[in-house]
Amino acid sequence: MKGVAFGRTTYETLLCDRPAAGVARITLNRPGAMNAYSYAMTQDLQAAIGAFRDDDALKVLILTGAGERAFCTGGDISGNDPEHSAHVASAPMGHGREMREGMQAVVLALRRLDKPSIAMVRGYAVAGGLALACACDFRLAAESAKLGDTSNKVGLLPDEGGAWLFPRLMGLDRALKMTLLSEIYDATTAAGLGLATEVVEDGSLDERTLEFASALATRAPLAVRLSKTMMMRAGQISLEDSLIDAQHAVMIANPSADVREGIKAFREKRSPKFEGR
């Protein structure tokens, strides 16, 4: 499956492939710019995430960055696209529109997925790059990775979703400290703060991430998607409403062929073969 594309055949700023059965991988492909996102990249990302979402053969998404230096360093402020910058500056509410239609839309697309997503972090994941990683369900970080929020350092804001995501992962006081002081953490410290799910030896990051994704891909698709949906909603609603969600979900999952297969496999002491039905 490695090297087989999904979605469009080519993207201007991304590489997209299927490294294993049921697993999609999106690689931010601007290594010369430390994978800082451009407006073009945000459009590519929305298209690629949508292609993953709509393909039932794809069960798990890995998001990563090309090269060794960075996962993503946030928005590209190099000034290398003056035409786009001039358009944003001259358009009515241009900066707001750029955010709404750009990286904010990417973060929402990731958060709205009912399939699992994994950020594989090598090098720097800072500012909007950290928000992008935190929009995924899991963050597997290389030991040498660096995670933090540097947006305030140049007078910018955690406007890609970080103001919502960081406090929920770290707690409000720690998130404020990170952002207001522009702190960057090593991977082990980041894991202790809740920013990384798992820290992996540098040379094993690809292997471990693919192992993790492949394990998720073997799970019953209906159960995975419904469980994720329930948990994502549970943080925003009451216990009573969450239990009602569970009642609705079991009416889909419990009569499914996957549950019958799972119970049969348990009784026969073998691994189940789920088909998402």
Domain count, the chain: 2
pLDDT of residue 1: 44
Evaluate if residue 4 carries a pLDDT over 90: no
The answer to whether residues 174 and 225 belong to one domain is no
Which of 255, 195, 193 has the alpha carbon at shortest distance from 222?
255
Please give the average per-residue pLDDT across 122-134, as a whole number: 98
Residue 3 lies in a domain: no
Q: Give mean pLDDT, residues 163-191.
A: 98
The least confident of 48-57, 74-83, 166-175, 254-263 is 74-83
Q: Is residue 275 part of a domain?
A: no
pLDDT tens, residue by residue, 194-207: 999 999 999 999 99
Q: For residues 243 and 155, state if they share a domain.
A: no
CATH number reported for the structural domain that contains residue 79 in this entry: 3.90.226.10
Query: In Å, how far from its chain's centre is CA 214?
Result: 16
Q: Tell me if 52 sits within 8 A of 61, measured CB to CB.
A: yes
My answer on whether 158 and 71 are in the same domain is yes
Cβ proximity of 140 and 118 under 8 Å = yes
- Domain identity same for 32 and 124: yes
Is 211 found in the same domain as 198?
yes
- Lowest-confidence segment of 88-92, 106-110, 134-138, 217-221 by average pLDDT: 88-92
> Which has the minimum average pLDDT: 77-86, 153-162, 242-251?
77-86
In a domain, 1, yes or no: no
- Residue 19 included in any domain: yes
Q: Report residue 64: phi and psi, to 5°.
A: -150, 180
pLDDT on residue 90? 67
Residues belonging to the chain: 277
DSSP 8-state secondary structure symbol assigned to residue 75? B
Q: Are residues 64 and 144 in the same domain?
A: yes
List the domain range (segments joined by +) for residue 236.
Answer: 221-267
Of the two residues 85 and 19, the one the predictor is more confident about is 19
> Are 242 and 208 in the same domain?
no
Residues 180 and 148: beta-carbon distance below 8 Å: no
Q: Residue 200, SS3?
A: strand
Amino acid at 136: C
198 plus 172 within the same structural domain: yes
Q: How far is CA 221 from the centre of its chain?
A: 18
Rg (CA), the chain: 19
β pairing state of 23-28 and 14-20: antiparallel
C-alpha–C-alpha distance, residues 112 and 97, integer Å:
20
Which long-range contacts link 227-235 to residues 24+ away (Cβ below 8 Å)? 228/113, 228/114, 228/115, 228/116, 228/137, 229/114, 232/111, 235/168
Last residue of a domain, one of 183, 198, 217: 217
